[in-house]
Amino acid sequence: MKYIDEFRDQKQARDIAKAIAREAHADRRYRLMEFCGGHTHAIFRYGVQDLMPDNVEFVHGPGCPVCVLPIGRLDEAMQMVETHGVILCTYGDMMRVPGAKRRSLIQAKADGADIRMVYSTQDALKIARDNPERQVVFFAIGFETTTPPTAVAIKQAQSEGLENFSVFCNHVLTPAALGAILNAETPVDIDAFLGPSHVSTVIGSGPYEPFAEQYGKPIVIAGFEPLDVMQSALMAIRLINEGRTAVENEYTRAVTREGNTKAQALVNEVFELRDAFEWRGLGLIPKSALQIRTEFSGFDAEKRFPVQAQPVSDVKGCACPEILRGQKKPLDCKLFGAVCTPENPMGSCMVSSEGACAAYWSYGRHRQKADQEGQSKGAA
Amino acid sequence: MCLAIPAEVISIDGDTAQVSVGGVKKEISMALVDDVAVGDYVLIHVGYALNKISTEEAQKTLELFAQAGMLAPDILGGQES
């Protein structure tokens, strides 16, 4: 497929790997945090980590919206269905996430709740049109990439007078998460970021510039194909070697400095900043999420269907919070591969297919853990 | 979640368009993009075109990849490792 195959070429991958091996100084380490689950996935699916010299390491970031959504918000969505009797529509990614008492939306659906998986906000609007006697709530999650389609749906519902449609808004902001990682009490040890790819198609590369300057970390906006990730790693290594803390853009075929201004204007018209929002693993972050503006409050499910979930703590022993902050790797978690697998996920990094634990599991890194354990037992 | 895939625009009708994703036809919303013509490639995400893909910039990136290949044999004496 055009714009995919040529960015997965094996020979080119070897050549870029050689360039990286040549340019990475042997006397230092390079810890690069790839922000998005999409990057993490590419790194393991295509074996990018194995092509890197030993001193170049990828640290996995928090860019997986399903992984960072607190369980309480999922429980609140479930209350909307079970207490208020709405039809709840959501993207497939949310369906398998375990909520309170480890119950997921898919289990609630099996128990008779009217929960529908949609591919697009347009599908949710259609469900509302087809069921005028029912209330339809779209359970909206995602970063800046996924927010504009929600804004379009709310505007469309308003112009159509679709009064039985509303949105449970959980859209979050990537620059705020970047700030939280850099501002953490025990800051994660990283030398550069590989910045979001499709988030940046919407917001542009400009919003990262203050972070690069203020915290002295170079940021390279990186596409999701394996060659994009490798080229971005090479660019980051060069920036580190030169001591430059700039924002560079590898994904120029889709990202500009300004981003998609039409999408930004729509988002600004419909949404405003929340004072604070709870992130799984990162805690309460000020001004890190969006809420629906008062002008559109008729479409705000939180105002229409009052819900209140109890805070739920993560499963004991689950290292998801540390993994989302880049302080641990999945192989450091005691539950990984033992009791926590994609079939029976304990934490959010395993349940979402783009979570770091799911990537490690799917592409065979659990074998590495078994090997390590085998070796240490053998040695003992 | 933030995955988006390249698709070729086949026809446009107001705010919706028919696109081809590797030969599979799909209807998507064009509400978030301007100045897209038939034959252009767009990135699609949850049923919406997010952005037009720049052919020139894609070419430049591929040339950057190729530079890594051109430099490698000089320094490594042309040996494959």
Minimum distance, in Å, between the CA of residue A86 and any CA atom of chain B: 23
CB contact under 8 A, A252 and B2: no
All residues of chain B having their beta carbon less than 8 Å from the beta carbon of residue A3 are 6, 41, 53, 58
Question: Do A262 and A369 share a structural domain?
Answer: no
* % of chain A residues with pLDDT over 90: 81
CB contact under 8 A, A3 and B64: no
Are B78 and B69 in contact by the 8 Å Cβ rule? The answer is no
The tens digit of pLDDT for each residue in A182-205 reads 988 887 899 999 999 999 999 999
- Where a domain ends, among A314, A330, A354? A314
At B77 the pLDDT is: 43
**Residue A12, domain extent:** 1-314
Question: Do A254 and A109 share a structural domain?
Answer: yes
**Residue B26, domain extent:** 5-76
- Where a domain ends, among A284, A314, A344? A314
- The answer to whether residue B51 is domain-embedded is yes
* Rounded Cα distance, A175 and A193, in Å: 12
Question: Do A224 and A121 share a structural domain?
Answer: yes
With 80 as the cut, is the pLDDT of residue A380 above it? no
Minimum distance, in Å, between the CA of residue B37 and any CA atom of chain A: 16
* Rounded Cα distance, B29 and A200, in Å: 20
**What value of ipTM does the predicted structure carry?**
0.91
* Backbone φ, ψ for residue A51 (5° rounding): -90, -5
The tens digit of pLDDT for each residue in A303-313 reads 999 999 887 77
Are A219 and A190 in contact by the 8 Å Cβ rule? The answer is no
- The answer to whether residue B39 is domain-embedded is yes
CB contact under 8 A, B61 and A250: yes
Average pLDDT over residues A283-296: 96
Question: Do A336 and A231 share a structural domain?
Answer: no
Question: Do A259 and A226 share a structural domain?
Answer: yes
Instruction: Tell me, yes or no, if the pTM score tops 0.90.
Output: yes
pLDDT by residue for chain B (81 residues), tens only, comes to 888 999 999 999 999 999 999 899 999 999 999 999 999 999 999 999 999 999 999 999 999 999 887 765 544 444 444
CB contact under 8 A, B32 and A266: yes
Number of domains chain A contains: 2
Minimum distance, in Å, between the CA of residue B11 and any CA atom of chain A: 18
Q: Rounded to the nearest 5 degrees, what angle is found at the Cα of A181, between the Cα atoms of A175 and A183?
A: 100
- Where a domain ends, among A259, A280, A314? A314
Question: Do A292 and A174 share a structural domain?
Answer: yes
At A311 the pLDDT is: 78
All residues of chain A having their beta carbon less than 8 Å from the beta carbon of residue B50 are 145, 148, 198, 201-202, 254, 260, 263
At A101 the pLDDT is: 83
Minimum distance, in Å, between the CA of residue A254 and any CA atom of chain B: 5
Question: Do A357 and A260 share a structural domain?
Answer: no
- Classify residue A183 as exposed, middle or buried by CB count within 10 Å of its CB (0-12, 13-18, 19+): exposed
Number of domains chain B contains: 1
Minimum distance, in Å, between the CA of residue B80 and any CA atom of chain A: 10
CB contact under 8 A, A152 and B31: yes
Q: pLDDT: is A371 or A305 the higher one?
A: A305
A285-314 burial: b if 16+ Cβ within 10 Å, else e? beebbbbbeeebeebbbbebbebebeebeb
* Rounded Cα distance, A306 and A76, in Å: 9
At A307 the pLDDT is: 94
Q: Least CA distance to A149: which residue of chain B?
A: B48
CB contact under 8 A, A252 and B71: no
At B78 the pLDDT is: 43
Determine the straight-line distance between the first and last CA of chain A, rounded to whole angstroms: 51
User: The domain spanning residue A173 has which CATH number?
Assistant: 3.40.50.11740
Question: Do A145 and A127 share a structural domain?
Answer: yes
With 60 as the cut, is the pLDDT of residue A163 above it? yes
Question: Do A329 and A222 share a structural domain?
Answer: no
Of B41, B47, B51, the CB nearest to A201: B51
Pairing type for strands B48-52 and B41-45 reads antiparallel
Question: Do A196 and A92 share a structural domain?
Answer: yes
Tokens matching residue A13: 């991958």
* Rounded Cα distance, A54 and A57, in Å: 7
Residue with tokens 């890190």: A288
With 60 as the cut, is the pLDDT of residue A84 above it? yes
User: The domain spanning residue B69 has which CATH number?
Assistant: 2.30.30.140
* Rounded Cα distance, A277 and A273, in Å: 10
Of A12, A63, A152, the CB nearest to B69: A12
- The answer to whether residue B81 is domain-embedded is no
CB contact under 8 A, A149 and B1: no
